[in-house]
Amino acid sequence: MIAARQAIQRPADAKLLVVAADGTMTHAARARFVEFVQRGDVIVANDASTLPASLSGIHDRTGAPIEVRLAGWGTDRIGDPARFVAVVFGSGDYRTRTEDRPPPPKVAIGDRLTLGPLHAVVVQVRVPPRLVLLAFEGSVASIWAGLARHGKPIQYAHVDAPLALWDVWTPIAGPPAAFEPPSAGFVLDWHLHSALRERGAHIATLTHAAGLSATGDDALDASLPLREPYSIPPRTARAVREARAGGHRVIAIGTTVVRALEHAAAHGGVRAGHGVADQRIGPSTPLRVVDALLTGTHERGTSHYQLLRAFASDRDLETASHALDAHGYRTHEFGDSMLVVAADTHRRVENRAVATLAA
């Protein structure tokens, strides 16, 4: 696949590969996504806005340059900026590939970091040398102000020009919660909203704290995704329950939505409230809620690709990968899209009314 190098959320030539439940594949313009939606479908998207989570600064003890990439909330709830899980790098910026970035200066508990107007203390070194827990000094208001003034969106070398914050906010962005954009949601402009409603589909949202997709450290990358808190509003929980009872599909816009809904379903059902998605979804994960996934194109070996294996067989995903390569699909956050329908959707839909009554 080809890396999408420009920060254009909805390019006119965006492509969509549809992988049906039986493995049949269809190539279409992404603008035709609505044609693959059925009346009664519930479409759930992540409304998290993306934080300016890249902070350059100095490691006070050594005077060495450091970049901090906020990677997760320091507690199990979204919204408290006093503590963040972070990945730290040495000198350089996004123009160097993440895997080629030099390691950070050796950090220890108690070390102070000066990050523009912000000051933070290393509370834990979770996975040396890069994954740490930071405590930020000052009031909540001053921390938010410092992030807004000094922070930049996390960026990778495949995008040429510096990203602005609006480049990584989806059209439905709401609470500041994500560290990288829930980029599958770039497709959801108001024209598509109207078309989906005319189709008879229902649109709902949740908030999920999307974390980093890469850290530059193979061992740390293998542990991704990290713990990610989420919040499901009452309207969304009700819409999902009604879809299950009525034999309709639940379509997730992005892997973060799958993680939130499936985590909730595995812990007492999809109800309104807060949770922390701490599971890894893969080929052995039973899908309890989500019937289809609209997502970007993902390379083998990534945690996102592993999640796709819960929806489709390895054989179908291998065929899809070859099709993506052969037809010049673009990858990464500003790339093209896939709609993958879970292979056992028909069996599960037929039994949902019975399962709901039994519950």
Tell me the whole-structure pTM to 2 decimals.
0.94
DSSP 86: E
Q: What is the pLDDT of residue 345?
A: 54
Give the whole-angstrom CA distance, residue 153 versus residue 149. Answer: 12
CA 99 distance to own-chain centroid: 20
Q: What is the pLDDT of residue 344?
A: 73
Q: What is the pLDDT of residue 349?
A: 43
233, 73 in Cβ contact below 8 A?
no
Rounded CA Rg of the chain: 20
Helices 345-358 and 234-246 cross at an angle (nearest 10°) of 110
Give the whole-angstrom CA distance, residue 27 versus residue 324. Answer: 9
Q: What is the pLDDT of residue 187?
A: 96
CA-based nearest residue to 36, from 44, 45, 27: 27
Distances (CA, A) of 35 to 38, 268, 298: 8, 34, 23
Give the whole-angstrom CA distance, residue 280 versus residue 260. Answer: 11
Q: What is the pLDDT of residue 175?
A: 96
The pairing of strands 228-232 and 273-277 is antiparallel
CATH topology of domain 2-49+162-358: QueA-like (3.40.1780)
DSSP 53: -
Residue position matching structure tokens 């093209």? 336
Q: What is the pLDDT of residue 268?
A: 86
Q: What is the pLDDT of residue 350?
A: 41
Q: What angle do CA 334, 337, 343 make, to 5 degrees?
A: 150
Residue-range domain boundaries for the chain:
2-49+162-358, 53-150
DSSP E strands in 96-227: the ranges are 112-115, 118-127, 131-136, 176-178, 202-208
Number of C-beta neighbours around residue 305 at 10 A:
17
Distances (CA, A) of 286 to 137, 223, 252, 325, 344: 43, 20, 15, 29, 10
Q: In terms of DSSP H, where are the helices of the chain?
A: 140-150, 190-199, 218-221, 234-246, 255-266, 303-308, 314-326, 345-358
CA-based nearest residue to 44, from 239, 175, 247, 264: 239
Residue position matching structure tokens 């003034």? 149
Q: What is the pLDDT of residue 94?
A: 94
pLDDT along the chain (359 residues), means of 10: 92 97 97 97 98 98 98 95 98 94 96 98 96 98 98 96 96 97 95 95 97 92 94 98 95 98 94 96 95 95 93 96 97 97 62 38
Q: What is the pLDDT of residue 131?
A: 97
